[in-house]
Each structure stands twice: as C-alpha cells, then as structure tokens.
Amino acid sequence: MPETVFAATRFGRERLAAGSVKRRHRHERGYVAVVLAGSYIEAGDEGRRRLGPGDALVHLDFDGHLDLIGRDGADVLNLPLPADWSLPIGVRVPDPDAVARIAEADPAAASAMLDIAEDVPLLQDDWPDLLAIALRAQSDLRIAEWAAATGLAPATVSRGFRAVFGVSPARYRAEMRARRAFAALTAGTLPLAELALASGFADQAHLSRAIADLTGAPPSAWRRTSNPFKTTGMHPN
C-alpha cells in the first residue's frame, strides 16, 4: 500500500492567491482557519461553506478539502485546534483582528477566543451539496439511484460532484465510511472484525486498508494509543 501523503499545516498568517484553487488535500493534524480578509469557498469532508472576514473553519485530524479562492484573494490565520474542541465546524468570530493580535504572542490563547461564536451554515445551493449531505448520512447510498431520483444522468453526477468537491461521489462515500469507522475505533473497544461489519466493510482487511489510507496507520496501531478522534494528538508510532 502506498504511503499516505498529507499536506503540511502551517500555523500563522497565510495569503491565498486571488482566483486560485487549492486542489483537494488532506491534513494530518487538526487546526482552525480564521478568515481575516477576502473570501473563499471550502468543500470538505463536513460539507461546503462560503467563508468571509470573521468566519473560522475547524479542520479535524485527517480532514480533506478543496478551496476555491475569491477574486480578491483571502488572508487566513491558521491556529492550533484546542484538544477539547466542542463547537461547530464553522463558527463566527466576533473580533478576528483581536484574535490575530493575540496569536502573534500566544496562538493557543487566540484559539481559546473562538468560544464566543455562532455557526456558519453549510451551503445547500445546488445538487452537489445535497448529494454530499446524503453521502455523509447514508454509507450505503446508491449513487445511481440517487441520480435517477434527482433526474440526472450518473455520468453528470460523477463529473459535477468531482468539479465541486475534488473527488468522485464514490470516493467521498468511501472516505466518509472510513472516517466513521475511525471515530468508532478510537472511541471504543469493539473487536476489529465486528467493527468492520458494523461500519459497512466487507471484512476486517477491508476496514484496515481504508483506515490506513485515511490516517497513514492501520487500526492495530491506533488501538495501541489513546489518541482520540477530535484532538491534535500524536500519530501512533
């Protein structure tokens, strides 16, 4: 199996070029992106959101996403993800400039300022958004049947979804299944063979390949560590 390649997470300020596209990529460590200026649309594992100044988007460990940058570009502040994060994935920050000032001296303290916030809703503008919601909710969703019910050709659905999310519907569905299985793996003690069946995999080997592809390590390695799903904790040795 080829080694999983993750995109680097660079904390601090980041400039996103006007009109650019950051192709779908995956980060090993969770973080929070706070938009200071400009705008962009992010299509990721948790759905699609339109972000502007004062919006903050949480990326959990191993999140994958594509970014479509607005015509004026965007200035983003990347902060560490607090280990006890319990707020929504997309939040509004009352004073992003204050967060940026504090982050220069103490990024962790800046992250803590995100507690006072409101949710940034998911986009539901078009059928790719609705399909993504359905794929996250139903691990056994039959894409061809969904396309027929929506009045779209399967080929149109495949091309259109990939254009928006950077991955095919089938791959998105598979990754959502792997993420759910990984969350169950790190939160419980169910034997791997039983976890595989409960998560919709053909067998334990199928589960192991999917989790290793998602995280870079097999389930057996994760079972040897107490690293929970929603932290920026250490990768298993």
- Does some domain include residue 111? yes
Q: Strands, E, within the chain: which ranges?
A: 12-16, 21-26, 31-44, 47-51, 55-59, 64-80, 90-92
Cα Rg of the chain, angstroms: 18
Give 100-136 pLDDT, tens digit per residue.
999 999 988 888 777 666 788 899 989 999 999 999 9
CA 198-185-141 angle, 5° bins: 40
- Here the CATH number for the domain that contains residue 147 is 1.10.10.60
Q: What range defines the domain where residue 161 resides?
A: 127-222
Can you give the pLDDT at residue 229? 43
Q: Is the pTM of this model over 0.85?
A: yes
Percent of the chain scoring above 70 in pLDDT: 92
The answer to whether residues 211 and 182 touch, using CB atoms and an 8 Å cutoff, is: yes
Determine the Cα–Cα distance for residues 35 and 83; give it in Å rounded to an integer: 21
The answer to whether residue 233 sits within a structural domain is no
The C-alpha atoms of residue 199 and residue 7 are separated, in whole angstroms, by: 27
CA atoms within 13 A on the CB side of 5: 3
Regarding whether 193 and 138 lie in a shared domain, the answer is: yes
Report how far residue 228's alpha carbon sits from residue 11's, in angstroms, rounded to the nearest whole number: 22
Gap between the Cα atoms of 152 and 7, Å rounded: 34
Last residue in a domain, options 60, 85, 115: 115
Question: Do 108 and 137 fall within a single domain?
Answer: no
State how many domains the chain has: 2
